[in-house]
Amino acid sequence: MVSLKVERKTDPALEAADREMERLEKLRPPRLHLGQSGGGMCNRRQYYGWLWAHDRDIPAKGLRAIRDGINNEDIVAADIARTPGLTLLTRDPDTGRQFEVLDAGGHIAGHMDGVILGHPAAPKTPHVWECKVVNERKFKKFQSCKQMYGDKFALKNWDHVYWVQAQLYMLHGGYKRHWITVATAGARDWDATRTELDRDEAEYYAQRMVEMVECVDELPGRISDNPTAFDCKWCDARSICHEGAPVKRNCRTCRFSKPIEGPQWYCERHDKNLTAAEQMSGCDLLELRNALS
């Protein structure tokens, strides 16, 4: 019996929808601040992203995963909010907006998913709340870490970046406890763990980020000098960092601009504060920072 190899074809309508999703993503304005959610990532990767040194290329499948995570966070929040005796705040009562924690004059920012009051394990202690939606494999790993390391150290051993995010949010928000809920796609299964503030570690990562702002003309160290290392292989900045590709030209990569309180960016050559639109477009007199040239 002869087996026929059938060529797998992509539906043209779905293919067109994917390309449109990716096109619209490229038109979205870049994030203005250095995100505390990435405080545990490679320093240089954070630096390049904050200076808009490269395009943010996310395939449609990844964009749908991000959208799925956002949508499922709302489902998880609604389920938690129905818990008797527990209060979940997803908006800061003082501002009506998402809880925000800032550093370095506002250039470093984090946005917490919420605050938990009345958690049964520590009803008198407010907790930072974060929700992560992950695939089945990562969810099972989370449960294994809970079983192996216990509540206190589960998050640190499961996902270092999420753990640093938790530490920074607690430090800058003035909290001592963090509660993360981890759900599968569709929020069909979930689990959670509580983490304590490790002030020394939190201050270390906070200072590491502050130094990027205060020493904007210095190229931070990278996580590995090996371009095939796991963290480097999938990094958007890989071609710049390891292969010498040119950086994007804008005011943030220009040596005449610097971050100042506000948060603002100031151009020394034109003696003015720069709007976000001006930062993105740059000018004819732009010269790259020594660290990037």
User: Are 182 and 66 within one domain?
Assistant: yes
Residue 21 counted as domain residue: no
User: Are 170 and 87 within one domain?
Assistant: yes
User: What is the CB neighbour count within 10 angstroms for residue 181?
Assistant: 21
Q: How far apart are CA 254 and CA 287, in angstroms?
A: 5
Q: Cα–chain-centroid distance for residue 71?
A: 17
Hey, what amino acid is at 55? D
Contact 90, 77 (CB under 8 A): yes
Residue 94 lies in domain = 59-214
Whole-model pTM: value is 0.93
User: Are 284 and 152 within one domain?
Assistant: no
Domain end residue (candidates: 214, 240, 261): 214
Residue 37 counted as domain residue: no
Residue 22 counted as domain residue: no
- Cα angle 30-283-47, degrees, rounded to a multiple of 5: 40
Residue 67 counted as domain residue: yes
pLDDT at residue 271 is higher than 90: yes
Q: What is the pLDDT of residue 10?
A: 83
What's the structural domain count of the chain? 2
Q: pLDDT above 90 covers what percent of the chain?
A: 88
Confidence of residue 1 (pLDDT cuts 50, 70, 90): low
- For the segment 239-265, the average pLDDT, to the nearest whole number, is 95
pLDDT at residue 82 is higher than 70: yes
Q: How far apart are CA 202 and CA 194, in angstroms?
A: 16
- Cα angle 36-41-47, degrees, rounded to a multiple of 5: 75
Averaged pLDDT score across all residues of the chain: 94
248 or 234: which leads in pLDDT = 248
Q: What is the pLDDT of residue 56?
A: 83
Domain end residue (candidates: 197, 214, 231): 214
CATH of the domain at 108: 3.90.320.10
Peptide bond into 227 cis (omega under 30): no
Residue 102 counted as domain residue: yes
Q: What is the pLDDT of residues 95-146, one digit of tens each?
A: 999 999 999 999 999 999 999 999 999 999 999 999 999 999 999 999 999 9
